[in-house]
Structure 1
Amino acid sequence: MAKQSPETVLNTDRYDRRLYGNIKERAEELQKLEAEVGKEIPTAASLLQDVWAGLYKARPRVLEEVPPSLRANQAIMNEVLNLPKFEDLRQGTRLDEWSSALGTMAIGPEVTKFIPEEIKDAARYEQEAQKLLDQAQGLDLAASDLDAAGQNEQAEGLRQQAQQLNQQGQELMAQAETIANNAVNKMKTRQVRLNVGKACQETQENLENARAFSWGTSPGQAQVLKSQDKFTLARRLTQDYRLRAIAKLAGRLSRIALHKRKTRKRQLPLESTGIMLGGDLSRVLPSELSLLSHPVLKKDFLRRYAERKLLQYELRGHENEGKGPVVCCLDSSGSMEGRQEIWSKAVMLALFQIAAREKRAFACIHFGSRDEIKVFEFPEPRKASPVDVAEAAAFFFGGGTDFEMPLKKALEIMKKSTYKKGDIVFITDGECMVSDKFIREFKKVKAEKEFSMYSVVINADPGGVTPFSDGIAMFDGKDDAGVVEVVFGGR
């Protein structure tokens, strides 16, 4: 009986193959890659599935026995699974079908090109051999039926034909084995390790950078980035160097910003609500402190201090239930293109992280010339689509500069909010005058909604932002410590 050949060289099952098929149906890029690599060598498509399974499965293992046509795939996957960088990547892709697909997109082109062309000959011989072996099996079955019907001579004739076909099939299979083994021996496995290692590192970086477009990159914060969103974002990061640079810088700024907000000293209004027992010397009653002057009662004071049983004031603080929106106005004029655009958008993403952490609405306002205005609003940043956040970061006008229109949009957002004490951050490298009439209206709404207004000026005169700013930070394109203090150290 002819032996059923495996479809892949890893220990995949029907569920694995069905899941990969579902991913491929929904990922057009994966379909295109499979079609491209499979043009010359059909077994390259099978290798893509093996790479995916190697990233996805909890315990991937290379099969010991595979047909000649998959012998090169077997050798390649043995190299890949033993790579430390591949194992590092698996920490973020294991049992995550879309992250595994992303890794396949990066690693697949690097490994399929190492499949020797001779494998095509091995596959052809294998296919012809399998046909002969299947025919031989069919004749054997037919001979058994004839025996059962008492037609022994005819059965013996079929068996002889089956034997001849089986022998021819085995000879062709042996030729396929020889071709495949010789081809594998010529493979440059060291280069496989180098190419795959680099692809694994790039994939890992893109998966990490994709998190910049969701909330919760700080330690201990929950992640809401869905697997398919990670795939979409990471693929976009691969293709767009600006987004890649923005995400990388945003990661650093977000960590600094969230740490600064978490560790800042918060002055809450306190009031005395009674007397309690404790050991806080700053709140101990004066009558208790007077005991320190008595040589005998001093010992009683120290004993009760150690036991936290001193009489002290009970204080209670009051904090507002919520805060207004965080609005980032980004200058998207032509002069911002390049490093200034990347840096300003990284600041915007860090502000998005703060808004999500503090459960505040967030808006990004891109502005250029007077008629160039684009608003991205996220009423609940924790529920925002990371793909939409990335879209906000990628947007750019490239025109002139007008301050009044984005400020009007920011005021509209502040007016809509039921909370006070919001924050507007205005980032620009341009100079533009704002009318006195608008400044009066701006200050009126500002007093009503009690929001703060911070401006960041990049290599320009701050005169244009002075009339409407509570604080101004100058950025020279290098040291952003002052900006961090002004923008992220607010109330």
Structure 2
Amino acid sequence: MGTFLQARRRHLCVKEASFEDAEKAGDLWNAIVGLGRDPPMRSFAEAVRDTVPAEYMAFLALDEVGAAYAFGLLWKAGKHVPEGASAFEMRSAAREEWATFDKKAKQVKHLSDGFGWDLSAAWAQVRQVDAAGDDMDRVERIARLAGRMFASLRGAHASKVHGVSGEVYSVEQGNDVARLLPAETVLLTDPQIEIVALERIASRRAAQYAVRGATKKSKGPLVLALDESGSMSGIRNEWAKAAAVALARVAAAEDRPVAVVHYATSTVVQVVKPGDSAGVVKMILHFLSGGTAIGLALGVAVDQVKALAQKGQHGADIILVTDGIDRNEEEQKKSVDAASSIGARLWTVAIECSIAEDSPLRKQAAQYTELNDKAMTEGSSITLLAGAT
């Protein structure tokens, strides 16, 4: 843990407090992190030390960013404690701020778990969101949903077998050599019983993995076109942003570049790296509002696939999320055809709406899914896109 002098150089709130009263600021910092001499008797710093929640003592001693957040809260509170306040009054004021800190600490934990960040990065983003006056509760909800989605995707991946294309869900009889169980392939290595194994395969009685869906042998860029028209606000937007985070985390583990195309009647492109905490929060909070131009969005998505594919990865996936369609089907078909021409698969998610069966957004999609309001709160809803990861 850094000393007060180090904290003063690293954290603006500590630096500014030291300009006001360096001695009091030093006493408060030491009281929070458990360093230095005991604070003066009947001081606010003493009240802070005496009321530090036991569950955060070790954390505050080790995480300087979290300690700086606590310092900012308590320094402001201390300035409002009247002269001559009793020890009881000072402890009450300190406990109120520790309660606020506890709420933030829980939000930080949810961000850390849901987005896969370390605690220091999560604390830094909480401070940035609060400072900007943005909706921290919304960011927390998205983080918690993204965490559940990521767990669901990992579970779907766990049901896959190396070398087998698709999600394994059972065992069946057949003659697909690529999906034979190990017990069957062993038979082929023994010259004395090889003929038995071949006969079982020829008669479609060999034990093989039963799979559903399909996975590409080559996984290239992942581009998510997220509808940010006015009607996508609320839980619809939260589902889309949580899905983007979870999918990006899985893609990052496979070194797949990821881009998000925010769209309404205009587009904004953002490359997403799960470890870039500031970038992830920026993506989550971004919202264009307005109308919907799907053909435009898909055209931009195709351009992103081409740009990202220059890194040497091919076989891209484009995920389109929308809660309604515009009437420019000619532009939509043009963009879908362009995606197909470069080997990119389209995955269409229709949120609380239905896209016509003859629409290129549905007819030419590798998978088309309609999502209702109940599913949008469940982490397992992301498994509909597991094939894209």
- Cα pair 2:221 2:256 within 8 Å, conserved: yes
Query: Do structure 1's residue 343 and structure 2's residue 330 form an aligned pair?
Result: no
Q: In the aligned structure 2, how far is the partner of 1:409 from the partner of 1:354? A: 23
* Percent of aligned positions that are identical: 19
Cα distance in structure 2, aligned partners of 1:105 and 1:265: 51
Compute the displacement of 1:255 (Å): 2.4
Aligned 8 A contact 2:110 2:143 in 1: yes
Provide TM-score, normalisation by structure 2.
0.74
Structure 1 pair 323/436, CA: closer, same or farther in 2 (3 Å)? same
1:257 aligned residue (125, 139, 153) = 153
Q: Secondary structure at the match of 1:187?
A: helix
Q: Does 1:446 align with 2:304?
A: no
Amino acid at match of 2:152: I
Aligned residues: 344
1:75 pairs with 2:46: yes
Equivalent-residue separation in structure 2 for 1:434 and 1:104 (angstroms): 55
Matched, 1:456 2:354: no
Amino acid at match of 2:51: V
Matched ranges for 1:199-214 at <5 A: 199-211=100-112
Question: 2:74 & 2:6 partners in 1: Cα distance?
Answer: 19
Q: Which of 409, 415, 422 pairs up with 2:306?
A: 415
Measured at CA, do residues 486 and 473 of structure 1 come closer, stay the same or move farther in structure 2, by a change above 3 Å? same
Q: Is the 8 A contact 1:213 1:386 kept in 2?
A: no
How far residue 254 of structure 1 moved from its aligned partner, in angstroms, is 2.2
1:22 aligns with 2:9: yes
Q: Deviation of residue 490 (structure 1)?
A: 3.6
Using the TM superposition, give the Cα deviation of residue 236 of structure 1 relative to its aligned residue in structure 2, in angstroms.
Answer: 3.2
Selected match of 2:372 from 476, 485, 489:
476
CA–CA distance in structure 2, aligned partners of residues 320 and 394 of structure 1: 32
Cα distance in 1, alignment partners of residues 224 and 68 from structure 2: 35
Structure 1 residues 437 and 373: CA distance shift in structure 2, 3 A: closer
CA contact (8 A) 2:74 2:94 kept: no
The equivalent of 1:375 in structure 2 is 269
SS in 2 for 1:327: strand
Give, in whole Å, the separation in 2 of the partners of 1:245 and 1:34: 36
> In structure 1, how many angstroms separate the alpha carbons of the residues matched to 2:35 and 2:230?
53
Q: Distance in 1 between matches of 2:235 and 2:333?
A: 31
Q: Distance in 2 between matches of 1:462 and 1:46?
A: 66
Shift of 1:332: 0.7
1:244-287 deviation line (CA, Å, top 9, x unaligned)? 33223222222222332344344448999xxxxxx956413454
Partner of 2:206: none
Alignment of structure 1 residues 218-233 onto 2, 5 Å: 227=120, 229-233=121-125
- Pair 30,398 (structure 1): closer, same or farther in 2 beyond 3 Å: farther
Distance 1:50 1:344, change over 3 A: farther
Secondary structure at the residue paired with 2:313?
coil
SS in 2 for 1:365: strand
> Would the aligned equivalents of 1:264 and 1:489 in 2 still touch at CA under 8 Å?
no
Partner AA of 2:71 in structure 1: T
Counterpart amino acid of residue 350 in structure 2: V
Match of 1:84, as an amino acid? Answer: A
Cα distance in 2 for residues equivalent to 1:477 and 1:30? 45
Deviation digits for residues 97-133 of structure 1 (CA, Å, limit 9, x no counterpart): 22321232345445x26744116xxxxxxxxxxxxxx
For structure 1, the 5+ residue unaligned runs are: 1-11, 120-182, 218-222, 273-278, 293-318
Could you report, residue by residue, the CA deviation over 1:29-64 in whole angstroms, capped at 9, with x for unpaired residues? Answer: 5566778xx6xxx6xx755544544554xxx25745
Which one-letter code corresponds to 1:248 in the other structure? R
The equivalent residue for 1:359 is 255
Secondary structure in 2 aligned to 1:71?
coil
Structure 2 counterpart of 1:94 = 61
Alpha-carbon distance, 1:78 to partner: 3.6
Retained in 2: the 8 A contact 1:459–1:475? yes
Distance 2:161 2:74 in 1: 48
Quote how far apart the aligned CAs of 1:438 are.
5.3
> Which amino acid counterpart does residue 392 of structure 1 have in structure 2?
M
Matched, 1:387 2:283: no
Q: Report the CA distance shift for 1:462/1:94 in structure 2 as closer, same or farther (over 3 A).
A: farther
**Number of the residue aligned with 2:187:** 284
The DSSP-based 3-state class of the residue aligned with 1:204 is: helix
Where structure 2 has 5 or more consecutive residues not aligned to the other structure, the ranges are 166-175, 197-214
Structure 1 residue 427 corresponds to structure 2 residue 325: no
Q: What's the offset of the Cα at 1:345?
A: 0.9
Read off the aligned partner of 2:125 and give its amino acid letter: L
Aligned-residue offset at 1:331: 0.6
The structure showing larger relative contact order (alpha-carbon pairs under 8 Å, at least 6 residues apart) is 2
Question: Is 1:240 equivalent to 2:134 in the alignment?
Answer: yes
